[in-house]
């Protein structure tokens, strides 16, 4: 209940534009067990967790270079340990033939929404092309709704991802809100995000949020249990932009947070 109380306070503060609660409050509201962080680097730890779940969904703030680099590192760590893997990306499904051509090493202009497209994202795709052409057991799929589709984006992606699961585990990179596994809307509406749609179908899903510290030249990622003080704060701030009630327990909504911490501040 202490966690839900904190989330409620954080929602209220964030909606008023006042973020004044600190991790000290959280430290005293959570047990020592809840303060754990993974000892391994995020990519290695998440590759291991992916083997225990059908789907791993990584939520990103679009155009942050650390996100596609993290996903590329997870893929490499997973494949190096053996087995096959499918990557699902927030690219329109109508681009799948173009994406397939690119993965074979042929020149193809993959159309990616400008909000998502950036240099590091393209570098991630190039990394996948290299792995596929080296004979690694990797499939790359475009699972977003085509631009002309007027239905639910999350419903479309859920159908696409569910169809991929029988072949191998699926690693998904999408915007942050799509990773939320349970949302109780204040309006009473039932409009679940991607992760919740998969959970409702009985699919084992692990979800990860990301957060970035200040203004840095260089960052290093740390994987936090969702009950870590900073992770709970990230979840609260993420949910504060929605019209939703705070959850009873944070793990109902998200499992982990990758915190990108500054190691070199900008001059």
* CATH C-level class of 2-265: alpha beta
Token code pair at residue 16: 């008023």
pLDDT tens-digit readout, 25-71: 343 344 434 455 665 799 999 999 999 999 999 999 999 999 999 99
Report pLDDT for 254: 97
Q: Is there a contact between 60 and 210 (Cβ–Cβ < 8 Å)? A: yes
Q: pLDDT for 237-248, tens place per residue? A: 999 888 888 888
User: Distance between CA 187 and CA 218 in Å, rounded?
Assistant: 41
Which tokens is 196 given? Answer: 């919740």
Q: Which of 148, 183, 162, 191 is nearest to 88 (CA)?
A: 162
- Strand 138-144's sheet: what is its strand order? 138-144, 85-92, 170-175, 55-60, 205-212, 256-265, 216-225
Q: How far is CA 123 from the centre of its chain?
A: 18
Rounded to whole angstroms, how far apart are CA atoms 211 and 121?
A: 18
- Answer whether residue 180 shows pLDDT above 90: yes
Q: How do residues 8-30 score in pLDDT, each as one tens digit? A: 555 555 554 433 333 333 433 44
pTM: predicted TM-score of the whole model, two decimal places? 0.88
**Helix, coil or strand: residue 39:** coil
Q: Is the dihedral of CA 174, 128, 73, 214 positive or negative?
A: negative
Burial level of 202, CB count in 10 A (0-12/13-18/19+)? Answer: exposed
Are 73 and 62 in contact by the 8 Å Cβ rule? The answer is no
């Amino acid at each position: 209940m202490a966690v839900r109380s904190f989330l409620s306070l954080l929602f209220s503060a964030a909606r008023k534009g006042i973020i004044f609660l600190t991790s000290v409050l959280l430290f005293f509201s959570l047990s020592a067990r809840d303060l754990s962080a993974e000892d391994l680097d995020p990519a290695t730890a998440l590759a291991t967790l992916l083997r225990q779940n059908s789907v791993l969904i990584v939520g990103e703030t679009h155009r942050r270079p650390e996100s596609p680099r993290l996903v590329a590192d997870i893929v490499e760590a997973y494949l190096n340990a053996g087995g096959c893997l499918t990557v699902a990306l927030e690219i329109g499904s109508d681009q799948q033939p173009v994406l397939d051509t690119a993965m074979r090493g042929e020149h193809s202009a993959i159309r990616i929404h400008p909000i998502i497209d950036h240099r590091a994202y393209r570098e991630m795709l190039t990394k996948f092309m290299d792995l596929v052409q080296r004979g690694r057991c990797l499939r790359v799929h475009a699972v977003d709704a085509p631009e002309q589709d007027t239905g639910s984006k999350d419903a479309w992606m859920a159908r696409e991802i569910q169809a991929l699961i029988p072949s191998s585990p699926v690693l998904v990179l999408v915007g942050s809100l799509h990773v939320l596994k349970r949302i109780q809307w204040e309006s009473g509406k039932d409009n679940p995000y991607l992760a919740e749609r998969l959970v409702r179908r009985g699919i084992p899903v692990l979800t990860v949020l990301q957060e970035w510290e200040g203004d840095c030249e260089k960052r290093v990622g740390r994987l936090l249990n969702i009950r870590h003080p900073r992770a709970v704060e990230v979840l609260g701030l993420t949910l504060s932009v929605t019209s939703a009630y705070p959850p009873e327990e944070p793990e109902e909504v998200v499992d982990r947070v990758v915190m990108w911490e500054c190691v070199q501040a900008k001059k």
